[in-house]
Chain A
């Protein structure tokens, strides 16, 4: 601990007994401590908490709008991909395959649809996690 550190420590503790009177360093430190211990002038307005909550509510509303947007966008994409898949695979709805003993054999020609479907669901999940944060409402 340097002499100066010791001086600061003693002034901070209010231990002036061992300090020489009328020392300019001590006088300076006293002035500095007085200012440092004063509460800064800057204060927030009385309605600050209300303003923060209002901003939070506004943000939540905006986030909900975004969620609806992405939900709608996802549905449209899903529909579009279904139409494209159907047109490319010439898929025809036939529930009769359920009765068959080997249903997978009937589904084999449509494996492209299933692969694409799985990839598409993964993409939707990724977009969901990336852009839509589950915000709690206040």
Chain B
């Protein structure tokens, strides 16, 4: 795959339009998943994905194959998503204080999540949506893209230990909420 990527990258750099389209087709899935999970507004997602690939094209000559091409593209997508959220002044600074965030997240029963409780899938998806951006990113890359801690760390610029911690903590937070819901369901 690395050899294939190298040949593809060389072709794109030399101006092969078809090669660039192939590169997009190969990696649009991971970009769509990252942007799709981090950006809520449907109308902004596609344009942002396009911006990611335009940046990929612009910077491709700087790519030195120190990592996988998909990891490098995912890094660009992650940065674009974060910058977009910053521009929109959406709070994403740091993970909220553990204690307060946990209690807020577990106890909070906003109408949106209650409405979704009819269906477990949409209930969990709704909960994921309420998690901090860093948690959502780690969950998506680990579970959907099957990436390891090292690769996720490269993309998010976080130490492997932090990635692992966020992954377990995010799933634990979801579990607390789902357990509460399942407990309620059993009482009915």
B-binding residues in A (CB < 8 A): 4-5, 8, 24-25, 27-29, 31-45, 48-53, 55-56, 59, 136-138
Contact B32 A44, beta carbon cutoff 8 Å: yes
Q: B179 contacts which chain A residues (CB < 8 A)?
A: 24-25, 28
B22 (CB) vs chain A CBs: closest residue: A49
A136 (CB) vs chain B CBs: closest residue: B15
Q: How many A-B residue pairs have CB under 8 A?
A: 105
A-facing residues in B1-54 (Cβ within 8 Å): 13, 15, 17, 20-21, 24-25, 28, 31-33, 35-37, 42, 45-46, 49-50, 53-54
Contact of A32 with B178 at beta-carbon distance under 8 Å, contacts A39-B33, A40-B144, A49-B24 already known? yes
In the assembled complex, the CB of A137 is this many whole angstroms from the nearest CB of chain B, namely 6
From A40, A49, A59, give the contact of B21 (CB < 8 A): A49
A–B Cβ pairs within 8 angstroms, 8 of them:
A29-B171, A35-B124, A36-B143, A39-B33, A40-B32, A41-B36, A52-B54, A55-B54
Contact A35 B33, beta carbon cutoff 8 Å: no
Q: A40 contacts which chain B residues (CB < 8 A)?
A: 32-33, 36-37, 140, 144
Contact of A52 with B24 at beta-carbon distance under 8 Å, contacts A40-B144, A137-B15 already known? yes
Q: A8 contacts which chain B residues (CB < 8 A)?
A: 168, 171-172
In the assembled complex, the CB of B119 is this many whole angstroms from the nearest CB of chain A, namely 11
Q: A50 contacts which chain B residues (CB < 8 A)?
A: 21
B28 (CB) vs chain A CBs: closest residue: A44
- A48–B186 CA distance with the chains assembled, in angstroms: 46
Contact of A32 with B54 at beta-carbon distance under 8 Å, contacts A40-B144, A48-B49, A136-B13 already known? no
Q: A138-B20, A138-B57 are in contact. List 20 more A-B contacts (CB 8 A).
A: A4-B168, A8-B171, A24-B186, A25-B179, A28-B174, A31-B124, A32-B174, A35-B121, A35-B125, A37-B144, A42-B37, A48-B28, A48-B46, A48-B49, A49-B21, A50-B21, A53-B24, A55-B54, A136-B13, A138-B17
From A4, A31, A49, A52, give the contact of B172 (CB < 8 A): A4
Contact A32 B175, beta carbon cutoff 8 Å: yes
Contact A53 B17, beta carbon cutoff 8 Å: yes
Contact of A37 with B143 at beta-carbon distance under 8 Å, contacts A27-B182, A44-B46, A136-B13 already known? yes
